[in-house]
Amino acid sequence: MTGIRIAATCPEGRSGRGFLSDLSRGMVARLFRVFFSFMFLFGFSFQGAVQPWAVSRVHAADAEQPDHVGRVFHVTGEAIGSVGSEQGKPLQANDELKKGERIVTKAGAVAILKFRDGATLTVGPEGKVVLDEFVFNPASSETKNTVQVEKGAFRLTSGFKTKKSAVSLRTRTATVGVRGTVAEGFVDEHLPEFINLPKGLARMETAGGVIELTDGQYAASAAAANRPVDSQSLPQAIAAQGVGLLRAEIGDELPNGTPLTPEQMRADALANRMPVEQQISGGTDSVSDGFSFMSVFRSMVRWLVQWLRGWVASLGDWLDRLAGSLIRQALAASAEEAARSLSLLVKAAEVGILEPVVGSPTSQQLQAREAFQQEAQRVVPDAQAVLAAHQGNQRDQNRKNILESTQGVVQGAASVAKDGQEMAAIVKNAVDASPKGDGEVASIIVREAVSAKGVTDNANVASLVVQAAASADPGVAGMAAGAAVKGLPESLQAGAAAQVASAAVKAAPEAAATVASSVIQVMGAKVAGEVAAVVTLAAGASSAAMVAEAAAKAGGPESAASVAAAVTQVAGSAAAATVAGAVMASAGSDNALKVAAAVAQVAGSAAAASVAAAVAQKLDPAAAAKVAAVVVQVAGGAAADAIVKAVAGSVGVSAESFKQNVSQAAQSPEIAQAVKASVEIKEQARANGDRAREADDKADKAVAPAEQRQEGGKVEPAPSPSQPVVAPSPASGSTSTGPQGGATTTEVMPAVQLPQTPESRAMASAIASGTSVEVVIMQAQRSGEMNTSQIIAAAVAAGIDPASLTQAAISLGINPVEVASAAVAAGADSAQITGAAILAGGDPGTIAQAAIEAGGRAADVAGAAIASGGDAARIATAAMAMGGDVAEITRVAIQSGGSTGEVARALIAAGADTGAVMTGAMQVGGSDRVVAQTILSSGGDVGAVLAAAARGGMDVRDVAAAALSAGGSAGSIAAAAVRAGASVGEITSALIRAGGDVQSVVQGALQAGGQPYEVVVGATSAAPDQIRAIVDTAVQSGMDPGSAESAGAAGQQMESPLIDNGNVPSPS
């Protein structure tokens, strides 16, 4: 440390420095220099001479593999680095650092070392550290870093986050294991050691015991035999003095480093890519050339060289011991000035605060300690403010370093990655290791993952990495998708936006709305329709309204009509009304006519009335009359009465009087303009639908395993929602023509496509020539050659739109159940068929059962049936009884309009697993507490609810509080939460804060295996006035009394306003 310049008087009366200089000119030193120089000259020369023989042949590929652990980031003054017995060399910026390297700084010097994971180690003046071990691989998400701090001030700031992290600092008295950390302090053999933890978690262990540290805590250690003393026993003034010394020695902030060359960045990335086992073994693999006399001779030579170098090292140790007493006398002089800078820490040692407690203190000891406390307050009166400012600044610096490290590591990984799959694995692990919902870090990870020119900067790799990020944390799916698109070259962004959005939503369907919003915000309103369409395709029709609302809001009011039309195009006419109503939230009344006309054009006359009512429901009667008028003109006069009646009902006026208003409104020029615009928007919607299907297919292929991509990937049918579409034959390509012209892309899964028969070909030909679906079916009936099921199957094989087919068949008097069953069995989309059959008059429950029995996917069928007006509870239980996935059924039932409570109650009563019901309900969104309380009040098991909440990333504290308010036992809830994997400290604190009995909560958490220290800290942070009851309960449950007291004191200090709003600092 700087500032240590007090002269010590030696026996001869000269200063310590002068005495040591005389010693260096003495006979012993001359003997040492001659002998040491000779042996090292011989040793290195001999080793160099035999090295070509002694070293086995090395793989050429391994010879190129870097083996450094990091680089010098910045040096002020002079710092020396040496490995083993090598002669030290001055360190310069960007020099490589090796495993086992010893770093020594001179007076006034500061060296900042940067490990390959971006973590930094700052070494203060006259400091000594040894880089004992370092392993880092972002693909396997592993970090291991062990640093020996022998002397001086230091600060370790964490970098890139990994799932498996083992970082430790070893001092002369203690080993400090750290995680997610800024850890700093100083080490000097003449003073107690000081450790400060501005951020993270730490475990400080000596031969005398162990303490745990969390954000903002500090500790001191006087001897290895003593247990460290934490901040509960040390006044804040001690830490304030320590922080002041650290700031003087090593500063507050990291300076700007010298940029790495491309070759250096590549070397770092290659070293990171090296398998962990190879990093541990040294980076090279030897290849034996077989036994020979020469190999034996080489081994003997190597052994001799190592023995000689070891002997020299032993000689050096002997000489060190010979001069040790004299050197110690000189170094002892430094303690006087250091003691002045750290007067309170030294005084704490003098009054016995750093010594283990043996029996009760004497009155003299108590007086001394009381006097010390008063002196500490007098010396540093603003200690609390000093510490708060410093800890906050260091947390900010750590965040900055994490972001920069993440950028550097991922950018380097992309530059040397073999393929997109390798990058996807790195991205998944990186996002998984980051705090949940940290969109800023996720954005950097994804953006840099697609940064390598010509390697990862394409839509397919972007799709892969976004899917990986979204699957690791659905909460960042939106920001990840936006970052991936923005990270691509500008020329590729527009073409990749929909594909990337689709990949994100398939990994995290619950994030569909945020994905659409994020991508549109990046690309602008020009892609709003296409992105909204592809997101709806990927998430399913049940999400259509939510996606449309988010997309219209992101694209702006002018995009509302095109967004609603595009979403309706892919979701189907059954979703048209909810989509139109949803976009009105951002469209505003000025765009109402445009929205209503566009959606009605796409959805068709059958849905016109419901569309008009949905758009008009929040308008005044005059504006509503214009909406009705424009929809009548789009849908045709046959639907006029139904439209007028529906709109009148939505605004609460008489249908008879409203009809006159509609007739008058029809003369308005606005109506004609909106109708004209709707025709153009409809064509745009078709085009957006086609592009969305293409992008969706590309996303499937991009994220599919290699073997599936070679076979062509996944292909799904994607017909238009309301117009009959003729599917191509297997050999005819993928473009077909609808009855009103225009190319429509459809793709049919080979597994369900029926072979073309003369009948189906005749139907396809008739549809292509403009014949209506009803006429085609009637002609088939009159021929008498096919029964109803065969007619439906042939129509499906002919490519007729399933929804149009179903509605037409039912309108001709065919039983809806028979139509639905035959269409689904023939391979038609089960959700579309179900919705169409119910809208045409079929019973929802009966139709749903028939569709599932015919092979329809239970969740899809249930969602469509409920969205079309079916009883959610009845249909959900029926779908489950027929083998449907409980979580999926729960999700779609609620998303389609069912009440969470009704659906949950019905499913649980029917024997559904509570955890599965909870999982499905969570995926819909909403308040964690409300969802949990609803499930619990519906008869759900507390343990299963908590386990599902923990797996789903919910705030388990809210869930536990909900369980308590639902009448559960505090102890049982605590135990269930701990077994479910909840943070012990957080759950304990939350339950007590919610009114749970303190002793019951503590006892329940401990009996379930909760970490005792965390239980006590969490409990006392919530109820500091009950510390005695908490500590006694913990001790009765088997906790060490000393640890219990320490944890209780730590919890008391954590009491802050943050706790009042539920943000309990977690010791876990």
- Are 928 and 958 spatial neighbours (Cβ–Cβ below 8 Å)? yes
What pLDDT score was predicted for residue 715?
32
Say whether pLDDT at 711 is over 90. no
The greatest distance separating any two alpha carbons of the chain, rounded to the nearest whole angstrom, comes to 127
Say whether pLDDT at 659 is over 80. yes
What pLDDT score was predicted for residue 319?
55
Point out which residues pair with 205 in neighbouring strands: 175, 210
Say whether pLDDT at 608 is over 50. yes
Say whether pLDDT at 977 is over 50. yes
Q: Which residues have a Cβ under 8 Å from the Cβ of 464 and sit 6 or more positions away?
A: 420, 421, 423, 424, 503, 702, 703
What pLDDT score was predicted for residue 929?
61
The end-to-end CA distance of the chain, in Å, is 34
pLDDT in tens, 144-192: 999 999 999 999 999 999 999 999 999 999 999 999 889 999 999 989 9
What pLDDT score was predicted for residue 963?
76
DSSP string, 232-277: TTS-HHHHHHHHHHHHHHH-SSPPPPPPPPHHHHHHHHHHHHS-HH
DSSP string, 1032-1064: HHHHHTT--HHHHHHHHHHHHHT-SHHHHTT-P
Q: Which among 282-296, 300-314, 318-332, 886-900 has the top mean pLDDT?
A: 886-900
Say whether pLDDT at 742 is over 50. no
Mean pLDDT score of the chain: 81
Strands (E), 214-368: 217-221, 229-230, 286-287
Q: Could you state, in order of their start, the residue ranges of all structural domains in the chain?
A: 1-54+289-350, 60-273, 524-714, 969-1068
What pLDDT score was predicted for residue 168?
96
Pairing status of strand 101-105 against strand 79-83: antiparallel
pLDDT in tens, 912-937: 887 788 788 777 765 556 677 677 76
What pLDDT score was predicted for residue 299?
59
Lowest mean pLDDT among 207-221, 315-329, 467-481: 315-329
What pLDDT score was predicted for residue 726?
34
In sign, the C-alpha dihedral spanning 491, 494, 499, 504 is positive
Tokens of 651: 């605004």
- Are 1005 and 989 spatial neighbours (Cβ–Cβ below 8 Å)? no
What pLDDT score was predicted for residue 326?
44
Q: Which residues have a Cβ under 8 Å from the Cβ of 439 and sit 6 or more positions away?
A: 475, 476, 478, 479, 480
- Assign 722 a pLDDT band (cuts: 50, 70, 90): very low
pLDDT in tens, 428-439: 999 999 999 999
Query: Which is nearest to 409 in space by CA: 280, 275, 273, 282?
Result: 273
Say whether pLDDT at 680 is over 60. yes
What pLDDT score was predicted for residue 927?
56
Residue environment code for 973-1000, b if the CB has 16+ CB neighbours within 10 A, otherwise e: bbbbbbebebbbbbbbbbbbbbebebbb
Tokens of 619: 């308008």
Measure the CA dihedral 642/648/652/658, to 10°: -140
What pLDDT score was predicted for residue 610?
93
Q: Which residues have a Cβ under 8 Å from the Cβ of 622 and sit 6 or more positions away?
A: 661, 665
- Assign 472 a pLDDT band (cuts: 50, 70, 90): very high
- Right CATH number for 60-273 from 2.40.30.10, 2.60.120.1440, 2.40.30.20, 3.30.70.1060? 2.60.120.1440
The position carrying tokens 């009304």 is: 577
Lowest mean pLDDT among 76-85, 492-501, 642-651, 833-842: 833-842
Lowest mean pLDDT among 98-112, 355-369, 388-402: 355-369
Tokens of 598: 């566009």
The length of the chain is: 1068
- Are 921 and 951 spatial neighbours (Cβ–Cβ below 8 Å)? no
Query: Which is nearest to 840 in space by CA: 812, 862, 872?
Result: 812
What pLDDT score was predicted for residue 384?
94
Counting DSSP H helices and E strands in the chain, the numbers are: 50, 19
Say whether pLDDT at 462 is over 50. yes
What pLDDT score was predicted for residue 336?
56
Query: Which is nearest to 484 in space by CA: 460, 514, 453, 511?
Result: 460
Say whether pLDDT at 751 is over 90. no
Tokens of 802: 């399933």
Measure the CA dihedral 538/549/920/933, to 10°: 170
| Percent above pLDDT 70 for the chain | 79
Three-state DSSP class for 597?
A: helix
What pLDDT score was predicted for residue 776?
80
pLDDT in tens, 94-150: 999 999 999 999 999 999 999 999 999 999 999 999 999 999 999 999 999 999 999
Point out which residues pair with 743 in neighbouring strands: 737
CA distance 874 to 861: 13
Point out which residues pair with 135 in neighbouring strands: 144
pLDDT in tens, 772-820: 777 788 878 877 778 888 888 888 888 787 777 887 788 777 888 888 8
CA distance 621 to 648: 8
- Assign 312 a pLDDT band (cuts: 50, 70, 90): low
Say whether pLDDT at 757 is over 80. no
- Are 621 and 653 spatial neighbours (Cβ–Cβ below 8 Å)? yes
Lowest mean pLDDT among 12-21, 120-129, 326-335, 822-831: 12-21
